[in-house]
Every structure is written in structure tokens, then in C-alpha cells.
Amino acid sequence: MGSISGKYCIVGMGETAVGKRPDATTNSLHLEAIKACLDDAGIKNTQVDGLLTNQPLNDSHRSYAVKLAHMAGIDPLYATDLALGGATPIAMVEHAVMAIDAGLATTVVCVHARKRSTVDPTPGHPIRRGDEHWEEPWGHFAAAGGHAFAASRHMHEFGTKSEDLAEIAISTRKHASLNRNATMRKPITLEDHQNSRMIVAPLRLLDCSLESDGGGAVLVTSAERARDFQKKPVAILGMGQHHPHFSLLDAPTLVTLGGKKSSETAYRMAGLRPKDMNFAQLYDCFTITSMITLEDYGFCKKGEGKDFVKNGRISIGGELPLNTHGGLLSQAHLEGQLHITEAVKQLRGNEVEPERQVANAKVGIVSGHGGSLAMHATLILGAL
Amino acid sequence: MSKDERGRATRRGQPYLEEPEAKPFWAACREHKLTAQRCSSCKKIFGFPPQALCPHCLASEYEWIELSGKGTVYSQIAYHRSWHPAYQDKIPYNVSLVDLAEGGRLVTNVVDCAPEDVKIGMPVEVVFEDFPEYTLPKFRPVK
């Protein structure tokens, strides 16, 4: 079987305004993202023949992808909802490649929007995240708790400190300050981080991501067809997934997650190594998530993330710019959808504010992470 | 259903006592016994939550056994923010992942100990806290 590395491309991407969108609904944000994506690609809705989306958090009805396709005037030959939490946006791109490669469709839109900052007036039923009924009776309610368990264990095993996690929050905020479509743009200091209130010890407020309204989408097609689109195509070079546990109760470890095997698959497919990456857009629901992913992706050894993130290495202009858009921590939390659109923009060049463009960006890696630190997906993207 | 400030449903915060696979576990807790499923085929402990087939070998025969109640703290955190009305006056409080001596892990609380004194690797033993409708296993440091 021949490698599919480089045979499929992202040829369109769209982002909505993010932050507080009180007048928007989950449905309207998805449609807005699709429209922005198709306008960017320069094609009509009737030319799209596949749609993938994330199961909406606040509405558990089935087959949202099919509903959304028909709301958007798309007659899909392929459509489904994926449900891998924050690993879903990347998994959607992977499934789009697989569907096109299998001949089910030619042009697939992958869309995700969230309505989490302001109340969604649409009635619906919340979806269960995991084994809540084996966690909540003991007062464990929040994603912050699950990630605090990982941070606590990382600190115990490797001597990582809260001040080390702060490096990620500070650098990410600096990048958000350069992004006009970011929610939190005021730069922060180590003191700000250390003085921010404790949420679930050892994680402080500035270790935590935002709750946001907004959406994003990308359009996937074959490399041959990609030449007919108006924007410079971005090639999908490597893909991977790994889901090593489901809940905290069956996690073999909380300091190495799915990113290790997921990235190994993606590097192998792409024929590339960590040192080939010009930037990384790594899922950052909490600072600890990005630190563990930096280690799992081989940018440094396990336990050395605390040293790797220092001295400007992860800032624009550094060795490995991390989350150049401001991430979930400071731009907006759309479960990583905007990590993908940002990677596309960086690789096209001339699409972001000049001061946050990574110089000579040719190859970048993107991660998604979901559930109780359970699900993971990786994309390696390259400029053509 | 009550809602939080962003319009999301308030968490339930209680166990599902009638869940078929877990019913014997909650009944034993009521008698202050910590139990787990042990596979009749491979003899391994299932872990939690309880389930119908062995997660190791997929055998369908198992027995409920009483555990020693001894365990070790794998990781520990302290909630400084409440996500549920019942915890408003309890913060900061500890939540721990306790690995049980025979196998299996619980999300639980280490009690009889200030949150800042709970340490990873600490040996703990089970204690039971009775509520009107159910009983929860919690853990305390081994003296």
C-alpha cells in the first residue's frame, strides 16, 4: 500500500469571530464557519460532497453532520459526526482523507463550533463526558481536576513547578496579544500567573483555557484537485491517533498520554522528525497538556518539558514557536479547531499579522486531545 | 434540571445505585465492605466502574470479592473552586486517585488529613461515609 502522505490537501479554511457571541447559536456558528471556509476556498456549497463535524456538546441528537450539511445546502455523499472530544477536529481531517482516498467523496468540509461562553438559547441535552458517576460523588467535577491530577503527578515524578507551567501561559498570551481575533490580549507576567487564584491545585486560573463561542472549518481535497483552488494548498503529510485509556480509573499513567504513539504514526507517515518542525500548535486546554505533549512528541525527553519551555524557545522567533495564535488558553477554546486553521495560515504565509508569522514556515505539527486526557490525534502539515 | 451561569445543567453529583453492573458494589458499601469483581477465568480484578465482561480476557464469569481496603495515592489534587452547590462550603478539599492493593483504582477523597498533607505514594486505608441514600468509600492515611 502506497503512503497517502502529501496526496491530500487543505484548500480552504474559515474562522468566525470568537469570544462572547450572545446572539449566536450553535447552529449559526457552524454555518458561519462553513461559509467563511467556502469563501476562502472560492467554491460554492454545491461543490462540496462531504461533511464531518463534532457531536455538539449541548445537544445530543444524532447525525448532526447530516442536519448541518442540509442546513448548508450540501448534498453529502459522505457525512458523519465524530466524538473524540478535543481530538475531534484533527480526526475529522484524517477521516476526510480516508473518505476521499476510499472514493466516497472528493471535497469534504470539516467544521466545528462551540457555544460555551454565553447561553445557547437552543434547547438540548448535555452529553456525558465519561464515567462522571464514578467521579462526581467524591467531588471531582471538572476537566481542571483531571488535568490537575496529571500536573500533580508530573511535578512528583520530574520536579516540574507551577512556575514552569507559567512559561507556557505567558508565551501563549504574548502570541494572543498579536492576534486581532483573540479573546485575551493583555500580556501577563510570572507574577500575574502566580497570583492568579487556585482553581484545582496545582492548577491556577492562568493554567486554564477559556470558555468560548465561535467556530472554524477546513476543506480537504486531493492534491490534484487542490491546484484548481484559489489559495496555496497545504499538504497533509502525517496523521495519527492513540487513545490509551478512557477514564482516570483505567489510565496506565498520566504523565505520558496518547501523543507518544499518535505522533510516532504521524512522523513515520510523513518521513519527518521532531527537529523538522518549524512550529507546533499543541492542544492547550491546560498548560500541563502542552507540556506533556511537547515531551510525548519528542521535542525533549520525558520530564524535561520544564526546561524546554524556558528562554523564549516556544515563542515566535524561538526554536519551536508554540501556539502562535494564542491557543485555547488565550485566543479561544474551540476544541483545537483553530489550531488547524492557524497552522494552515502559517504555512500559506502572509495570512496572519506579520509580527506573529513564523519565518520560513514549511512544516508544522498540530495536536488534539480530548476526554479525561484520553483521546489524542496528530496532524503534520506542510507548505507545497 | 438546574442550570449554571452558562446555561449548562448542574452536575448530578451522586452515584447511580441502580446501574445493573454496579448494584452489588453499592450494596456492599452500605455494609462497609469494599468489593470488586474478580474474573473466574484469568483471576484478575476488573477495576472500576464494574462491567459485564472481564476487561482483560473478556470472560463472562466473575465473582464479587471483598478487598483489603489498602491502597496507595497515585495522584492528588485540591479543589479550590466549587462546581456543585453541595461543595460550596467544603473548599478547599482533596480528591485523590487511589490504586487499590489488589488492583483497580478509585476516584475518592483522602480524609482525616488536611488537603496539603495528602502526598503521592502515601499508603491509605478505606473508611466509609454514610449518606441517607448511599455510602461512599473514602480513604485515610495508614497510621
What element of type H or E holds A222?
A: strand A213-222
Q: State the smallest CA–CA distance between residue B85 and chain A in angstroms.
A: 11
Closest residue in B to A125 (Cα) is B9
DSSP structural state of residue A352: S
The secondary structure element, H or E, covering residue A214 is: strand A213-222
A125, A136, A206: best to mutate for the B interface, most B CBs within 10 A: A136
Give B143 to chain A, closest Cα distance, Å: 22
Contact check, Cβ <8 Å, B7/A126: no
Partners of A252 in the β-ladder: none
Residues of B in contact with A150 (CB under 8 A): 75
Which chain A positions have a beta carbon within 8 Å of B108's beta carbon? Answer: 138
**Coil/strand/helix, residue A349:** coil
C-alpha span between A4 and A237 (Å, rounded) = 8
Phi then psi for A94, rounded to 5 degrees? -60, -45
- For the CA atoms of chain A, what is the radius of gyration? 19
What are residue A234's phi and psi, to 5 degrees?
A: -115, 125
Of A58, A136, A249, the CB nearest to B12: A136
Helix (H, G, I), strand (E, B) or coil at A100: helix
Nearest to A138 among B47, B107, B120 (CB): B107
Is the distance from CB of B67 to CB of B77 less than 8 angstroms? Answer: no
pTM of the model: 0.93
User: Mean per-residue pLDDT for B113-133?
Assistant: 97
What is the ipTM metric for this complex? 0.89
Q: Which residues of A touch B48 (CB under 8 A)?
A: 134, 249
d(CA A326, CA A340): 13
Task: With cut-offs at 50, 70 and 90, classify the pLDDT of residue B2.
Answer: low
Strands A213-222 and A8-15: antiparallel
Residue B50 amino acid letter: P
Distance, in Å, from the CA atom of A295 to the CA atom of A304, rounded to the nearest integer, reads: 7
SS3 A106: coil
Whole-angstrom distance, CA of residue A358 vs CA of residue B33: 59
Going from the first residue of chain A to its last (384 residues), give the mean pLDDT of each consecutive group of 10, the final group possibly shorter: 88 96 90 96 96 79 86 94 94 98 97 86 60 90 95 98 98 98 98 98 98 96 96 97 94 97 98 98 98 98 98 98 98 97 97 97 98 96 95
Please give the pLDDT value at position B1. Answer: 43
* pLDDT for the residue numbered B13: 82
- Inter-chain touch A139–B7, beta carbons under 8 Å: no
SS (H, E, C) A284-329: CCEHHHHHHHHHHCCCCCCCCHHHHCCCCCCCCCCCCCECCCCHHH
Query: What own/partner pairs with CB < 8 Å and gap ≥ 24 does A80-83 have?
Result: A80/A52, A81/A52, A81/A53, A81/A54, A81/A55, A82/A52, A82/A53, A82/A54, A82/A55, A83/A54, A83/A55
Q: Which residues in chain B have Cβ-Cβ distances shorter than 8 Å to A248? A: 97, 105, 107
What pLDDT score does A125 carry?
52
Provide the pLDDT for residue A56: 77
Tell me if B78 and A156 make a contact (CB, 8 A cut-off): no
pLDDT at B68 > cutoff 90: yes
pLDDT beyond 70 at B6: no
When CB atoms are compared, the residue of B8, B90, B136 closest to A137 is B136
Q: Which of A294, A280, A266, A265 is nearest to A336 (CA)?
A: A280
Residue B113 has pLDDT above 70, yes or no: yes
- Measured CA to CA in angstroms, residue A132 lies from A246, A271, B104 at distances of 12, 40, 17
